[in-house]
C-alpha cells in the first residue's frame, strides 16, 4: 500500500493562484454563452426558457448504434465491473499472446482503432477499451470520479480483472494523456508505450495552439458544470465533423449488395455523442487533468514511441517532440501529410511503425509467413466489408438461393490480384529507414501513397462491379430461356418485377417483428436499407434519370447480354444505358409509328 501511495505522489496539483485564474476566466466564458442564448431568445421573440430547451434538446442523431459497432467482425464485446463502474471493451486475438491495450481519444470510442485491431491480432491479444464516461462504459456524473489518480487506479484494477500483469499501451489524444500518467504511476505494469499525436501532460496544457478547437480558452470554458455539456450537445455535429474531418474522406465503411449506403463511419460518432450525458464524462477528464502535473525529474523507464503527423493542428509539433525529455528510451516518428489521427489517416504506415516498435525484427520475418486476409489493411477490410454484407444478409424464412451468375461475380471480385497487398516489399524497406526526413524515406512514403491511391481506385471499380453485377445477375436469371429481344412493355413489366424483389423479405421481417413486444425493432436497419433502396430505384425509374441496364429491346444488346458469362471482368463489354419509364414509352411510340408507316 505504501508503494502505491508513493507512485501516485508523482502527480502534483498546480498552484492555487493558477486555479483561481482558470475559474475566473471560466465564469467569463460561460457568461458569454448565456448572453448568446439570451440574444437568440430575444431575436426569435419567444419565451427564453422554451427556446433554450428546444435548442438544446433538438437532435437528429441516431438513437441506436450502427450495425458495425455491435457485430463481432472486429472482436468480442465484453464488460468488466469495477466496484461502481462497468467498463466496455473489445477483445480480439489469442489470449495466450502478449496484451496490447488501446486507449482512444476525445471525442472518440473503441471504434477509432478499427484499422489497428485486425493487424495487431496477428501478434497480440488486443484490448480496445471504452474509457469511463465514453460510449458503452458507465458514465459517472461526479467530477471526482475522473481525477488522474482515480482514472489510473481504475485502469490498474481493470488490468488485474482481466488477469494482465503487464501490457503495452497505445494511446491517442486523451488516451495517450492517461497512458503517460499511468506509465509514471504504475511503471511495473507497462512494457512499452506508444503516444499518438499527444505531448506529455507537463507540456500539453500550456502549449495548445490558438487554432485548435480544444485550445486554452475551450479548456477554461468547460470547467463550469452543465452549461458546456448543453452547448456541446447543441453544436455536436459541427464539433464531431471538425474533429473527424478525415472520416468524411473515407466515405463508406459498409456498402449494401444493391449499392445502398447501409452505414456511414460518422454514424458511430454521432451515436456515441448524441446525449448530454455522453459529453459530461469526457469533459470531466478535462475538468481534472488540467490541474495536475508530473513531478519534475520523473522519467519513464519503459521504451516509448512518440508518433505524430506533420500537419496536426490540435497540438504543437514542438511539444510532441519535446516530450522525449520525459523518456529514458524513446523513438520519434513523424508521418508526412497526416493530421491529428495518423492511426486512421495513414493506417498502413502507422501499423507498420507500431508493429516494428512492439515486436522488432520478428515483424519483418513474420509478415511474409502470414497470408493476407480480407480483414487486413484498408483494402482487405473494405473487400471484407463488401463481402460480409453480400454474404451476411438477414436470414429469415426461406431466403432466395444465390444464383450462379452472382456467385461468379463475387468470386471474380474477391479473387482479383488487387486484394493481394502488393506493397509489402515497400513497407519493409520503409520500416528500415531510420531518419524520417531522408530522401529514401520521403521517396518510399510517396510510393506507398501512390500504391494506396491505386488500390482505392481498384476498390471503387470492384465495388461498382459488385453492385452492377448483382443487378445484372437478377435479369440474367429471369431471361435464361428467352430468345428474342423484349418489347418496351415487356421490359417495363420485368423492371417492375425487379423493383418488388425484396417484398418477400420485408414480409418476413414484419412477421418476426410482430412476434412479441421485444422484437419490434429486430432487423430494423436491414428494413430501412431495403426501403431506401427501393424508393430510390422507383423514383429513378418512374420520374428520374433511369436505372443503369442494358437495352434489352435492342437485338444486338440483347444478344450480348445473353452471351455474358456472369463474371465481373466482362461487364465492361456490355453497353449499359439508363432505362426509364419515359424512355420505354417513347420507344414504344416510335415503333408503333414505324409500323403504321410500313402499313401505309
pLDDT of res. 528: 82
The residue with cell 488490468 is 159
- Taking each continuous run of H as one helix and of E as one strand, the counts in the chain are 27, 14
The grid cell for 542 is: 418512374
Helices (H), 58-208: 67-70, 117-120, 148-161, 174-185, 201-204
Phi-psi region at 190: left, alpha or beta (left = phi > 0; alpha = psi -120 to 50): beta
pLDDT of res. 369: 38
Give percent above pLDDT 70 in the chain: 77
User: Over the stretch 447-483, which tens digit does the pLDDT of each residue have?
Assistant: 888 887 777 777 666 666 677 878 888 888 888 778 8
Given 3-state DSSP classes, what are the helix, strand and coil percentages for the chain, each rounded to the nearest 5? 55, 15, 30
Q: What is the DSSP string of 364-420?
A: HHHTTTSPP-TTSHHHHHHHHHHHHHHH-----SSPPPPPHHHHHHHHHHHTSGGGS
Spatial neighbors of 476 by CB under 8 A, at least 6 apart, are 403, 405, 561, 564, 566
More confident residue, 26 or 327: 327
Question: Cα 478 to chain center, whole Å?
Answer: 39
Statement: residue 285 has pLDDT above 90: yes
* Among 158-167, 390-399, 411-420, the range of highest mean pLDDT: 158-167
The mean pLDDT value for 334-354 works out to 90
pLDDT of res. 293: 93
Distance CA 427, CA 421 (A): 11
Query: Is the bond preceding 268 in cis, omega lying within 30 degrees of 0?
Result: no
Q: pLDDT confidence of 80, banded at 50, 70, 90?
A: very high
More confident residue, 452 or 260: 452
Distance CA 158, CA 81 (A): 8
Domain 58-328+336-359 belongs in CATH node 3.60.9.10:
no
The mean pLDDT value for 388-416 works out to 38
pLDDT of res. 398: 32
The mean pLDDT value for 171-183 works out to 95
Statement: residue 277 has pLDDT above 90: no
Q: Considering only 187-201, 278-292, 399-413, 482-496, which range has the smallest mean pLDDT? A: 399-413
Of the candidates 436, 208, 196, the one whose C-alpha atom is nearest the C-alpha of residue 313 is 208
Cβ–Cβ contacts within 10 Å for residue 469, how many?
A: 26
Q: Considering only 266-280, 412-426, 496-510, which range has the smallest mean pLDDT? A: 412-426
- 3-state SS, residue 98: coil
pLDDT of res. 427: 74
Q: pLDDT confidence of 188, banded at 50, 70, 90?
A: very high
Q: Considering only 131-145, 168-182, 482-496, 499-513, which range has the smallest mean pLDDT? A: 499-513
Distance CA 83, CA 253 (A): 37
Provide the sign of the torsion angle of the four alpha carbons 293, 295, 297, 299, taken in this order.
negative
The mean pLDDT value for 76-92 works out to 91
Spatial neighbors of 193 by CB under 8 A, at least 6 apart, are 168, 169, 171, 179, 180, 183, 300, 302, 303, 304, 305
Tell me which fold the domain 464-597 belongs to.
de novo design (two linked rop proteins) (1.20.1440)
Q: pLDDT confidence of 586, banded at 50, 70, 90?
A: confident
pLDDT of res. 305: 95
Distance CA 389, CA 533 (A): 15
Q: Considering only 40-54, 189-203, 220-234, 382-396, which range has the smallest mean pLDDT? A: 382-396
pLDDT of res. 418: 38
Mean pLDDT of the chain: 78
User: Over the stretch 533-581, which tens digit does the pLDDT of each residue have?
Assistant: 888 888 888 887 888 888 888 888 888 888 887 776 677 778 888 888 8
DSSP for residue 585: H
Cβ proximity of 426 and 444 under 8 Å? yes
Cβ proximity of 385 and 255 under 8 Å? yes
Tell me the domain boundaries of the chain.
58-328+336-359, 464-597
Helix (H) or strand (E) holding 305: strand 300-309
Distance CA 492, CA 498 (A): 10
The grid cell for 175 is: 488516451
Statement: residue 502 has pLDDT above 80: yes
Q: pLDDT confidence of 88, banded at 50, 70, 90?
A: very high
- 3-state SS, residue 166: coil
- The number of residues in the chain equals 600
Cβ proximity of 240 and 269 under 8 Å? yes
pLDDT of res. 423: 62
The mean pLDDT value for 383-392 works out to 35
Order of strands across the sheet that contains 125-129: 76-82, 85-92, 125-129, 99-103, 167-172, 190-196, 300-309, 327-335
- 3-state SS, residue 74: coil
pLDDT of res. 503: 87
Q: pLDDT confidence of 45, banded at 50, 70, 90?
A: low
The residue with cell 450525458 is 277
Cβ proximity of 560 and 574 under 8 Å? yes
Statement: residue 59 has pLDDT above 50: no
On the question of a common fold for 58-328+336-359 and 464-597, the answer reads: no
Statement: residue 138 has pLDDT above 60: yes
Distance CA 364, CA 352 (A): 10
Statement: residue 166 has pLDDT above 50: yes
Cβ proximity of 253 and 388 under 8 Å? no
Q: How far apart are the first and last CA of the chain?
A: 107
Amino acid at each position: 500500500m505504501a508503494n502505491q501511495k508513493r507512485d501516485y505522489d508523482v502527480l502534483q496539483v498546480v498552484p492555487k493562484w493558477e486555479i483561481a485564474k482558470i475559474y475566473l476566466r471560466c465564469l467569463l466564458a460561460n457568461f458569454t454563452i448565456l448572453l448568446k442564448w439570451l440574444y437568440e431568445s430575444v431575436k426569435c421573440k419567444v419565451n427564453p426558457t422554451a427556446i433554450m430547451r428546444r435548442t438544446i434538446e433538438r437532435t437528429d442523431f441516431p438513437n441506436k448504434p450502427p450495425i458495425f459497432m455491435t457485430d463481432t467482425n472486429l472482436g468480442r464485446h465484453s464488460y468488466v465491473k469495477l466496484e461502481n463502474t462497468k467498463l466496455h471493451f473489445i477483445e480480439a486475438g489469442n489470449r495466450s499472446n502478449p496484451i496490447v491495450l488501446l486507449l482512444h481519444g476525445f471525442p472518440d470510442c473503441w471504434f477509432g482503432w478499427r484499422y489497428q485491431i485486425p493487424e495487431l491480432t496477428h501478434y497480440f491479444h488486443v484490448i480496445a477499451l471504452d474509457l469511463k464516461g465514453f460510449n458503452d462504459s458507465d458514465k459517472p456524473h461526479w467530477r471526482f470520479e475522473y481525477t488522474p489518480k482515480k482514472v489510473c487506479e481504475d485502469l490498474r484494477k481493470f488490468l488485474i480483472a482481466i488477469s494482465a500483469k503487464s501490457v503495452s499501451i497505445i494511446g491517442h489524444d486523451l488516451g495517450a494523456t492517461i497512458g503517460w500518467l499511468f506509465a509514471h504511476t504504475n511503471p511495473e505494469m507497462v512494457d512499452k508505450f506508444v503516444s499518438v499525436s499527444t505531448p506529455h501532460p507537463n507540456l500539453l496544457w500550456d502549449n495548445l495552439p490558438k487554432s485548435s478547437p480544444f485550445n486554452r480558452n475551450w479548456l477554461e470554458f468547460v470547467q463550469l458544470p452543465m452549461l458546456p455539456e448543453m452547448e456541446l450537445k447543441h453544436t455536436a455535429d459541427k464539433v464531431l465533423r471538425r474533429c473527424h474531418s478525415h472520416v468524411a474522406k473515407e466515405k463508406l465503411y459498409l456498402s449494401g449488395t444493391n449499392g445502398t449506403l447501409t452505414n456511414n463511419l460518422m454514424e458511430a460518432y454521432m451515436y456515441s455523442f448524441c446525449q448530454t450525458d455522453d459529453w459530461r464524462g469526457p469533459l470531466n477528464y478535462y475538468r481534472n487533468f488540467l490541474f495536475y502535473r508530473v513531478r519534475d525529474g520523473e522519467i519513464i523507464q519503459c521504451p516509448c514511441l512518440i508518433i505524430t503527423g506533420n500537419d496536426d493542428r490540435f497540438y504543437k509539433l514542438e511539444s510532441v517532440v519535446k516530450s522525449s525529455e520525459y523518456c529514458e528510451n524513446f523513438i520519434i516518428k513523424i508521418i508526412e501529410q497526416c493530421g491529428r489521427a495518423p492511426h486512421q489517416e495513414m493506417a498502413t504506415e502507422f501499423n507498420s511503425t507500431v508493429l516494428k516498435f512492439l515486436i522488432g525484427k520478428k515483424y519483418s520475418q513474420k509478415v511474409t509467413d502470414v497470408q493476407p486476409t480480407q480483414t487486413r489493411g484498408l483494402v482487405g477490410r473494405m473487400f471484407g466489408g463488401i463481402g460480409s454484407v453480400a454474404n451476411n444478409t438477414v436470414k429469415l424464412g426461406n431466403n432466395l438461393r444465390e444464383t450462379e451468375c452472382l456467385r461468379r461475380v463475387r468470386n471474380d471480385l474477391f479473387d482479383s490480384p488487387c486484394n493481394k497487398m502488393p506493397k509489402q516489399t515497400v513497407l519493409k524497406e520503409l520500416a528500415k529507414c531510420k531518419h524520417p526526413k531522408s530522401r529514401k524515406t520521403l521517396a518510399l512514403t510517396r510510393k506507398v501513397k501512390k500504391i494506396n491511391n491505386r488500390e482505392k481506385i481498384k476498390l471503387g471499380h470492384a465495388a461498382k462491379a459488385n453492385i452492377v453485377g448483382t443487378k445484372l445477375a437478377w435479369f440474367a436469371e429471369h431471361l435464361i430461356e428467352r430468345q428474342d429481344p423484349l418489347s418496351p412493355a415487356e421490359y417495363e413489366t420485368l423492371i417492375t418485377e425487379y423493383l418488388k424483389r425484396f417484398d418477400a423479405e420485408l414480409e418476413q421481417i414484419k412477421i418476426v417483428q410482430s412476434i412479441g413486444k421485444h422484437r419490434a425493432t429486430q432487423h430494423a436497419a436491414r428494413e430501412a436499407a431495403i426501403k431506401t433502396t427501393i424508393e430510390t430505384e422507383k423514383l429513378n425509374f418512374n420520374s428520374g434519370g433511369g436505372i443503369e441496364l442494358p437495352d434489352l429491346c435492342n437485338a444486338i444488346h440483347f444478344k450480348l447480354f445473353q452471351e455474358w458469362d456472369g463474371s465481373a471482368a466482362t461487364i465492361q463489354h456490355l453497353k449499359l444505358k439508363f432505362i426509364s419509364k419515359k424512355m420505354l414509352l417513347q420507344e414504344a411510340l416510335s415503333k408503333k409509328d414505324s409500323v403504321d408507316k410500313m402499313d401505309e
